[in-house]
Structure 1
Amino acid sequence: MKKYIIYIGILAAGLVLGWLIFGNSSTSADKHNHETSETKKQQWTCSMHPQIIQPEPSDCPICGMDLIPAETSADGLIANEFKMTVNAMALANIETTVISTISNEVSGLMLSGKIKENEKTNSIQTAHFGGRIEKLFVNSTSEKIYRGQQLALIYSPQLVTAQKELLTALESKSRDISLYNAVRNKLKLWKLSEQQIDKIEASKTIITNFPVYSNVSGIVTKKMVEEGNYVKEGQSLLMISNLNTVWADFDAYEKQLSLIKEGDEISITTNANPNKEIKTKISFINPVLNTSTRTVIVRAELNNSKGKLKPGMFVKGALTPQEMDQKYLLKIPKTAVLWTGKRSVVYVKKQGNEPIFEMREVTLGNEIATNYEILDGLSENEEIVTNGTFTVDAAAQLQGKKSMMNNAGGKVMTGHENHIGMQEPINSEESKIMIERLKVSSKFQDQLKIVFTNYIELKEALVNDDSNLAQKSADLIVSNLDKIDMKLLTDSKSHNLWMSLLKELKSSSKKIAISTDIKNQRTHFITLSNTITKSVTIFGVNQKVYKQFCPMANNDKGAIWLSTEENIENPYFGEMMLKCGTIKEIIN
């Protein structure tokens, strides 16, 4: 009995000692965890509009419902963030840049334009007397002519009669000098020179075909008559431009006008000689806005005594307005911006050791050289993606996050979610590696390149305003999409992404193929271009591709297209605004 009492005492002492050691520790740990949980930053979202993220509880600005705590992933990410592996970033050649403000540096607006004839120096060569053109010595436009050069021979019944009157008056000159002078002056009014009149008097022979001489020197820019035409007195024969001075006409958008003034210095470069800058000043700003392009002509006059500036030549002009040096601007590279309708988005890299990204909508200001001014949406010293932006956007879509084309977030649905081996990722670790699908079979790339070539043919058809050829090219896209062997995508996740892109590629191509209205074709070409851009960016076609952008397309919302050439040829406007656009990115 005594032995049991000893055992019970030892057990009681052990329980008391254990409580003292581990009980207090557990309480302290619980308290620490509780404090950590409370100090952890909580964000709030709307159950109906998950794109809404707020730092504190409030009402949804869209529907008015109470916000709920935003769920975090196993990695501690909030609903609007997603993670990529370091290897995936290296494979996709993703680059980031820390944004900053600029002030008092040589940076300014970049304008695009053309060389044009100086209209002030244009001249019209007219017929000084009526008749039939027997011989025309100017064969084509662009010919250089000189003052006093013979341009044509004209048979004029009026001049034949006037010469007869002159010879008759010459015989009675001693008796009636006033009649002689009147006839002679009549010929001078028809631009006959003293030497020509003297020659008629000396030879006493009537000239049937009279020469027409140029009044000015220059280049023939318009030919208005041909041999055998009958012309009236004063009728235009040729338009002649003196190209010793030319105009550089630039298109400035509405939002740029407040920063541009007459007298601002502008540095001009040509595509023919991009390394040589021509410095001059803005001499004219058109007071009337072009309602179709929403631009205003900004003009500079250039000396062209050496003839190196050709009318029609494309030029770029960089200017630093006086107001721009007075304020600080937040700028980002153009390559960082993704355009979708009215929205402009960038991807922000969160601070920390791991590559975590978040999509952010921004408000753009003026175009400043190769950058955009940021009016809202970003802060100084934030880090953003500047190369490989489409790849990051694809990763966001695959992880069900907000993206360029999916503002509300949610998984990308392909229609194959219930197929074996085709399920969407179920955890963050699986979704993190999806971007590594970029390494695909070269055979798949070759098959995709055939579709891309058909796309370029379609783009060229729209450039040339050819709706029939556009239909045929779109048909080829649909046909060759069916020939792509999806078995070459051995990774189920690669297959998943391709299926989502394939559906949109076929849909937009078929709509172009069945439409005969080129305006409607161009509308569907916007969607096709967005999707083919993603396809080429993610899978590659083993070719340098230029992503180009026109801010006037899509009802002034802006639209992109792809090209194999650096030269801008706008498929959304064709001949009407063929050169409207800029290069946004080079996809290798």
Structure 2
Amino acid sequence: MERKHFLKAAAFVTLMPVLFLQACVEADKKDGKTEQKQTYSCPMHPQVVQDKPATCPICGMDLVLFDKNSKEASLTLGESQIALANITTMEVGMGSLSDFKHLNGRLAIDPEKTTVVSSRVAGRIEVLYVKETGVKVNRGQPLYQIYSEQLNALQQEYLLAVAQTKQFPDDARFRQIEAAARQKLVLYDQRDEQIAQLVRSGKVNPYMTYTATAGGVVSELQVTEGQYVAEGGVIMRLEAYDRLWVKADVYPAEASLVHVGQSVKVLVPGWETAAQPMTVQFIDPALQGGSQLMQLRGTVNNPDNRWQPGQQVNVLLPVKRKEELIQLPVDAVIRNGKGAHVWIETAKGKYEPRRVSTGIENFDAVEITDGVDEGDKVVITGAYLLYSEYMLKKGADPMVTMME
């Protein structure tokens, strides 16, 4: 019995300090005196975590307090953080916005920029200076040399007329014959300097070199060296690509939205930020064969020949326009399954999310129907980085926080 009393006393003495310490901790908790351990992290490198203020060993930025228990719905960033995140804002104002319908289209050759090179005289092609398609040709560049008996006869006729005029300078009839013979040479594309050289030399030259009357790319070559061609026979075809047709498909139900003279925009894949203006010049009144589609057509400039015929494009057809509305760039609005929100700068370096409702939108801008007022400063670049920063610091989606 005495042994039992002894063991109880020993156990009580042993456990008393532990019970005393636990009671003190509980008392401190009740009094709110228990300090929570603070954690600091780098906004750009969240893997860097420390228990005291410092700088990031990777980028040198100041570490910020990482507190998921904070209920504050805003973020505060320093100047260096704002610069690194490329955060810019704009003051909201009223404006107008057009909604667009996307039409599938393609680029095509403009027939007005096509040049057919044909033989001015009948003869044999002696030399072809351009022997393959796809070669770029400049205006005035030699294309081919031809041997022509007909040209040889015309030159002899002109030399004879010149000799008669010199012998009888006062005879008007001989002067008329000389002028007529010269005009024949001009009609066969003989230049003034060539005719003058013919008179000086007094010798005929049946070989004639023809040059390009326009620049372009050789798209078709129909002769070879040594081949005989008739007068007017096609030598080659040149196409210039500095201006192209745009053909876009339109469903009959959409035909009422389109009219000749209407302004639209053309987007070429890879150059979405450089929309090209175009005016509708023609609307095909009949449906395309084998389809239920109509077709509209216009022309766009092709600077530096950067686009090729056959390339696919998108034509933006304006179908609705609103005046006096609040609009923001598309990248300023962050959307997810819980809704849409933007970031408002409430003070210098302080940003908070705000739930918004959207209306019509196009490729560049979106209408804000609720949530933003005129004069608010909205983040237009860097909004997604703010969203990520909020998730990092708060551990929650801003949309969830705003709904609480």
Show the counterpart of 1:166: 158
- Residue 134, structure 1, aligned to residue 129, structure 2: no
| TM-score, normalised relative to structure 1 | 0.36
**Alpha carbons of structure 1 residues 267 and 182: separation in structure 2 relative to 1, 3 Å:** closer
Distance 1:272 1:222 in 2: 29
**Residues 39-50 of structure 1 correspond to what in structure 2 (within 5 A)?**
none
Distance 2:224 2:105 in 1: 34
**1:256-280 CA-partner distances (Å, limit 9, x unpaired):** 2222222333222212323432233
Show the counterpart of 2:140: 148
Report the Cα offset of residue 187 of structure 1. 0.9
Q: Which has the higher helix share?
A: 1
Show the counterpart of 1:191: 189
Distance 1:293 1:228 in 2: 47
**Alpha carbons of structure 1 residues 178 and 264: separation in structure 2 relative to 1, 3 Å:** closer
Distance 2:112 2:294 in 1: 20
Show the counterpart of 2:305: 307
Identity over aligned pairs, percent: 25
- Residue 140 of structure 2 aligns to which amino acid in structure 1? G
Show the counterpart of 2:101: 109
Is the CA contact 1:260–1:321 (under 8 Å) kept in the aligned structure 2? Answer: no
Report the Cα offset of residue 325 of structure 1. 7.1
Distance 1:190 1:130 in 2: 10
1:124 to 112, 116, 123: 116
Distance 1:299 1:142 in 2: 26
Distance 1:320 1:110 in 2: 9
**Residues 455-494 of structure 1 correspond to what in structure 2 (within 5 A)?**
none
**Residues 308-387 of structure 1 correspond to what in structure 2 (within 5 A)?**
308-321=306-319
Cα RMSD after superposing both structures: 2.6
Is the CA contact 1:110–1:369 (under 8 Å) kept in the aligned structure 2? Answer: no
Report the Cα offset of residue 173 of structure 1. 2.3
- Residue 312 of structure 1 aligns to which amino acid in structure 2? G
1:242 to 237, 240, 243: 240
2:230 to 229, 232, 237: 232
The structure, 1 or 2, with the larger RCO (C-alpha pairs under 8 Å, 6+ apart) is 2
**Residues 453-532 of structure 1 correspond to what in structure 2 (within 5 A)?**
none
- Residue 176 of structure 2 aligns to which amino acid in structure 1? S
**Alpha carbons of structure 1 residues 244 and 183: separation in structure 2 relative to 1, 3 Å:** same
Distance 2:214 2:99 in 1: 42
Report the Cα offset of residue 106 of structure 1. 4.1
**Alpha carbons of structure 1 residues 180 and 285: separation in structure 2 relative to 1, 3 Å:** same
Is the CA contact 1:243–1:307 (under 8 Å) kept in the aligned structure 2? Answer: yes
Distance 1:238 1:198 in 2: 29
1:157 to 149, 161, 170: 149
**Residues 213-228 of structure 1 correspond to what in structure 2 (within 5 A)?**
213-228=211-226
**Alpha carbons of structure 1 residues 230 and 275: separation in structure 2 relative to 1, 3 Å:** same
**Alpha carbons of structure 1 residues 305 and 270: separation in structure 2 relative to 1, 3 Å:** closer
Q: Which has the higher strand share?
A: 2
Count of residues in correspondence between the two structures: 225
Structure 2 residues without counterparts, runs of 5 or longer:
1-95, 169-173, 324-360, 364-404
**Alpha carbons of structure 1 residues 105 and 165: separation in structure 2 relative to 1, 3 Å:** closer
Is the CA contact 2:99–2:319 (under 8 Å) kept in the aligned structure 1? Answer: no
**1:538-568 CA-partner distances (Å, limit 9, x unpaired):** xxxxxxxxxxxxxxxxxxxxxxxxxxxxxxx
- Residue 321 of structure 1 aligns to which amino acid in structure 2? V
Distance 1:369 1:267 in 2: 12
Distance 2:97 2:160 in 1: 80
Show the counterpart of 1:181: 179
| SS of residue in 1 equivalent to 2:274 | coil
Is the CA contact 1:318–1:369 (under 8 Å) kept in the aligned structure 2? Answer: no
Show the counterpart of 1:276: 274
Is the CA contact 2:98–2:319 (under 8 Å) kept in the aligned structure 1? Answer: no
Show the counterpart of 1:288: 286
| TM-score, normalised relative to structure 2 | 0.51
**1:395-453 CA-partner distances (Å, limit 9, x unpaired):** xxxxxxxxxxxxxxxxxxxxxxxxxxxxxxxxxxxxxxxxxxxxxxxxxxxxxxxxxxx
Is the CA contact 1:288–1:296 (under 8 Å) kept in the aligned structure 2? Answer: yes
Distance 1:297 1:141 in 2: 30
Distance 2:194 2:274 in 1: 50
**1:65-113 CA-partner distances (Å, limit 9, x unpaired):** xxxxxxxxxxxxxxxxxxxxxxxxxxxxxxxxxxxxxxx9643321122
**Residues 555-566 of structure 1 correspond to what in structure 2 (within 5 A)?**
none
**Alpha carbons of structure 1 residues 325 and 139: separation in structure 2 relative to 1, 3 Å:** farther
**Alpha carbons of structure 1 residues 325 and 225: separation in structure 2 relative to 1, 3 Å:** farther
- Residue 185 of structure 1 aligns to which amino acid in structure 2? Q
Is the CA contact 1:261–1:321 (under 8 Å) kept in the aligned structure 2? Answer: no
Distance 1:168 1:281 in 2: 58
Structure 1 residues without counterparts, runs of 5 or longer:
1-103, 327-367, 371-588
- Residue 296 of structure 1 aligns to which amino acid in structure 2? M
Distance 1:225 1:293 in 2: 38
Is the CA contact 2:146–2:209 (under 8 Å) kept in the aligned structure 1? Answer: yes
Report the Cα offset of residue 369 of structure 1. 8.8
Larger Rg: 2
Distance 2:219 2:291 in 1: 26
Distance 1:325 1:263 in 2: 21
**1:444-474 CA-partner distances (Å, limit 9, x unpaired):** xxxxxxxxxxxxxxxxxxxxxxxxxxxxxxx
Distance 2:131 2:252 in 1: 43
Report the Cα offset of residue 220 of structure 1. 2.5
